[in-house]
A and B are shown apart, each in its own frame.
Chain A
Amino acid sequence: MTAENSSTAATVHASAHKLFSIWRTWAIATNTFRDLVRQKVFYFMLVFALILIGTSLAMASLSFQGQLQTVMDVCLGAMSVFTMLLAVLSTAMLLPKDMEDRTLYTILAKPVARFEYLTGKLVGVTMILLVATLLMTAAFCVVLHYWQGREIENLQLTETAERAAAAIAKLKVGTFTSTLFGGIGIIFLRAIVCATLTLMLSCFATSWLFTVIVALMMILAGHLVPIARSVWQGPVGGAMDVPFHLAILVRLITVFVPDMQLFNVVDDIAVGASVSADVFLRVAGLGAGYVAIYLLVGYLFFAWREL
């Protein structure tokens, strides 16, 4: 081989190895997805969520009024909690498991960038979350359709013709709405944010238990961010009446913790509140922002990490 040929081969090789390759990321994502599917915890959680969705029927029959509403509340609540738990638990174990199995070293020894590795992991988790959300949505639709039929029968029996017709029309229009499915989309987005947050934490944590606990604490605290923000913004120019240490805590929560309450629109959607497209878009934009930033920070932690 001549020197010229050798130089051309090197150039071709260099151009073949791009800084970021979708195919390499996809390979990691599909492997992650396959790994997660094989884990029993996933099935256990999914079955538990489906059972909870099913038992909403029993809970609805206990309620003395607004049974359909109870079904929606329990089902959407179950979807919200289980997608969040699934996101945190499945993501928290990804890196420690790869380290324990030594798979991580094998992968990173190949020409795979750490950013590709992290992105692939996140895409894999997103795929599993998508499957779980779709399965839960299907079960939810079946349960809701069944209960809607019962409610219509009940209205026909108990109400006057005019009131029944109006209530049935309202029920039909207000049950399977595009807003409801938009709300489920927000649940899915929230789960991805939770997954990215967990992935970011696991990039510097040494134990998966620490990652799970901190991620769950951050998510719970995330529901208190609006309060922290209102204390910070306070009517008299900030948290002046608040003790110093509390003021610092409030600022830290507001800055470092994601506002999970903004992703909590599904409860309002379940009671028939309409959500305008701009709110959906803004929530989606904010979610995308969180995902991008947490992934970047996770990369910064991971890129300089001694493995």
Chain B
Amino acid sequence: MRTSPGSVEMKGRVSGILVLLAWGIVKFPVEARLERRMQDTRLGGYKPTASLRQQAGQAGFIAALGGLRAAVADMLWIRANIAWQDVQYGRMKLLFDTCTTMQPRRVSFWDISAWHMAWNGAAHVENTEKDPVARNAKMREFFKLGEDFLLRGIENNPDSWELYDRLGLLYRDKFKDVEKASAAYEEASQRPGHLDYTRRFAAYYLAEVPGREREAYARLMALFHESEHEWLLTLFRQIQKLEASLAIPDGQRIYHDILKLAATPGKEESAYTALTDLIKTGAREPSVLEATRALEQKMDIPAERRIKLPPHDQRPPE
């Protein structure tokens, strides 16, 4: 029996489709596993959604599907900038949502979106809303939007110290919540690439949290003993404040350590800097003042550059 050319072609097509079907069945678990693995490493966290199509437009959505997702997000980011210039904070919020959905791993998108909402948006309300009650409520709403961007950003980028740092700043400056600020800085200080100040800030703001003074004192003292590099004005101020409020025995107060340093040959310069900083931040102990004066004479510091010692019984205002 002769086979017709059409049936021969059909045979090829059917076998091809069967191979494709078999491959489809084989690849299904492979692709699902790879997708899960990529999600575990926080890759490809983007999903094309209806709201995305609405914001990006038909062309933008297709372009995003075709491989220009990041470029489309950048275009929308520029649009958000234009919306900012036109003072359209509602539109900005929508565009920021789209940009962050398209590029959830881009830390700067979350960071700047939060900044625009919590700082610029709130400032705009502050300048334009006459009614104080409505003003406060609306400003708080903008703070919340900023917080929401940062929290979602952290969810997508848990290794980013920058986002925790900005969250700390937001809690400190806008919500006036030093406990949360301290916790956020603490988180920032545990992330790779963090800057040193995040660790300091975590301890500084903890010192201002009522009921956690002991813990804060221990943290600040750890910083103090860590290195002279940490001997900054804020550290001295916070430690001295806690020494007073926790009634730390005089013998355990930090000025004794610095006096010991002043008596160490070759350490005069750093001891003098530390002593003057102690005085600037509230130290009025006679031994501190005497040691400072003695070092000034020993180091031949000219009169005009010497620290102006305040009266012994007067502490500088907080």
Contact = CB atoms under 8 A, between A and B. Distances in A.
Nearest to A273: B105
Given A163-B195, A270-B70, A304-B9, A279 B43 contact: yes
Contact of A300 (B16, B28, B48, B112): B16
Interface in A255-305: 255-256, 259, 261-262, 264-265, 267-268, 270-276, 278-279, 282-283, 286, 289, 293, 296-298, 300-305
A225 interface: yes
A224 B48 contact: yes
Interface stretch (B18-26, B276-284, B301-309): B18-26
Contacts of B15: 300
Interface residues of B, number: 56
Contact of A278 (B37, B45, B108, B109): B37
Contact of B13 (A65, A204, A262): A204
A193 interface: no
A287 to B, nearest CB: 11
Given A73-B73, A300-B12, A304-B8, A255 B25 contact: yes
Contacts of B24: 254-256
Interface residues of A, number: 66
Nearest to A190: B67
A49 interface: no
Interface in B98-142: 103, 105-109, 112
Given A170-B193, A226-B47, A233-B32, A293 B112 contact: no
A241 interface: no
A235 interface: no
B42 interface: yes
A97 to B, nearest CB: 21
Given A80-B68, A162-B195, A69 B44 contact: no
Interface string A68-94: 011011101110110010000000000
Interface in A210-225: 219-220, 223-225
Given A255-B21, A273-B42, A300-B15, A225 B112 contact: no
A166 interface: yes
Interface centre among B24, B46, B81, B193 (most CB of A within 10 A): B24
A237 interface: no
B62 interface: yes
A268 B16 contact: no
A111 interface: no
B44 A227 contact: no
A229 B11 contact: no
A101 B187 CA distance: 68
Interface string B239-260: 0000000000000000000000
B5 A306 contact: yes
B70 A77 contact: yes
A63 interface: yes
9 contacts: A73-B70, A73-B73, A74-B74, A220-B62, A220-B66, A273-B42, A279-B43, A300-B15, A304-B9
List of 8 A-B pairs having minimum Cβ-Cβ separation, nearest first: A304-B12, A255-B24, A73-B70, A80-B67, A77-B71, A300-B16, A77-B68, A297-B16
